[in-house]
Structure 1
Amino acid sequence: MTPNVFFTGGPEDWARYETPLRDALAAEGIAARVSPDCPDPAAVDYLVFLPGTVSDFTPFTRARAVLSLWAGVETITGNPTLTQPLARMVDDSLTEGMVEYVTGHVLRHHLGIDGFIGATRWEKAVPPLARDRRVTVLGLGELGSACATALAALRFDVAGWSRRPRRIAGITCLSGQEGLQQALERAEILVLLLPRTPETEDILNPQSIAALPPGAVVINPGRGALIDEAALLAALDDGHLGHATLDTFRTEPLPADHPFWQHPRVTVTPHIAAETRPETASRVIAANIRRAEAGAPLLYRVDRAAGY
């Protein structure tokens, strides 16, 4: 039977994904019917899912999987109507983009590049070597471990923290509440790459910010809800934090009147650190449909209890 694949995005998303998705399915030998239209939800076998589209999965009684195009799935894991298996997006291009973003901004802050842009006087400010700069990555999943490893390869002194114990060559791996305190206390540059869960929301709060060294820099390409925004702004205002480079926010696009835009110690980037790219993401989707059709386990299936 030819599977029916429902692409849940709108016309603009479909225009970007139609050809790559059809090509990827053909390359996997799958003769599927793929459409952004869904006249009969009960006839759908797979949903290629973009957050913010379908909210009630009850009518999709035949669906064998919901295949997300985003790495983050926090907006869907708690949906009580979602009884179908859910797979998140894990794609090498997402990882590459995140590694480039994180290493670029860590190097920017490590070298003090902002201080030289627009300079009009000869003032030497020699940074330490990378081996003398302590960087902490909160979150050691696919993206966090890749970023930590890349920074260690540049000889930064890197520690990582995760909820569950991890072992990564060249990284000081910490876990648990005591480990979190140690991770924060050493973080001259802090990178947030945790998923959003009830346990991680507002993990950067007045208490955890106070544990950071004076002048620490925060880089958040993870999730906006990881940060207590009022606490972050207060720490930037009083000088305890040196700078915050933020790529994700509780409300996106970031409202024009948000104080982050005008703050001299905040850099806003418009959620560009790890963008899903249609050509490579479509191959991941097609591979999962092939596996499901063959009765094999889905790649990157979400643990609904853990939230990722």
Structure 2
Amino acid sequence: MKTVRVAVVGAGVIGFSTAVCIAEALPSCSVTLLADKFSPDTTSDGAAGILFAAKFPDIPLERQRRWFKDSFDHLLAIAQSQHSPEAGVMLSSGWQIFKEVPADKKPFWSEFVIGFRSMTDRELKRFPDHKFGQAFTTIKCECTSYLPWLEKRFRKAGGQLQQRRVTSLDELSSSYDIIVNCSGLGSKMLVGDNQVYPVRGQVLKVEAPWLQHFIRDGDGKTYIYPGVHSVTLGGTRQEGDWRLQVDEGDTESILERCSRLEPSLREAKVLSKWVGLRPSRRNPRVEREVVQLQGRRVPVVHNYGHGGWGVTLAWGTALVALGLVRNCLREMPPQAKL
């Protein structure tokens, strides 16, 4: 009999990854995922979903390496399985290019992607404004397919979904024994975290089936990511900007910058335009605390604030969140589990 009731708040890539990890690993828990928006209406759905990472300033590098490796290995196994088309997970090869030689020519994640190397002079000739580049094969994970696939996995493991807006953890205190907060930008209101802020991202999807390789400018603002059905062009990184409507000035800027790197894009047909707010924070919050709710002490596990690296780190931090839930279970008095 399932005894411990777990609520996971948030149905983006962090929330679903965490919910699946808990439901599959802890059959003694009854897991409910609550969110006001599900795919295709989450921020994750618009993410380009390509795997590499930036360093967070205050988290030990070893921990960041583990998050990346666990996520990469998880998605690589899917990419190499029969689930790849349905899950929207594929291998993707290409280049990251820099106008100036970066201080760190071999980033911490370089050993986990496939075939990482510095670009040759001949390869760089294509990009006359750039002095240095890295070539590698990584993974592209398209959340419009991946989230519904995770949802199927979650239901198969006995998980339940509830579409509702959670405005306060108090609402959940009487119905659940453990709360897992994966509410992203919603954590600003839900748990009063003023360190979370939006970074506005606008992208375009275009029809350019001839493109097979990704190109990313090292500043992170301009990128071309071929996917299964279209090519994602970006982007913007506008901190503190809450606007969700498409900005035509941004659209023109994205097309111009991307066409400079890949002139054939001038012929590409624009299929759609999309805006999302990355839930950014100086460091992601992956930890647990005990909160007093309606006179009860309720363990709360937090997993949010990944910024633009949600898809990249989702499975790695979900495994950490699972470990924190396990710790909560161990510390519960025996009668609470009955």
Report the TM-score, using the length of structure 1 for normalisation: 0.30
1 or 2 for the larger relative contact order (CA 8 Å, sep ≥6)?
2
Structure with more strand by fraction? 2
Report the TM-score, using the length of structure 2 for normalisation: 0.28
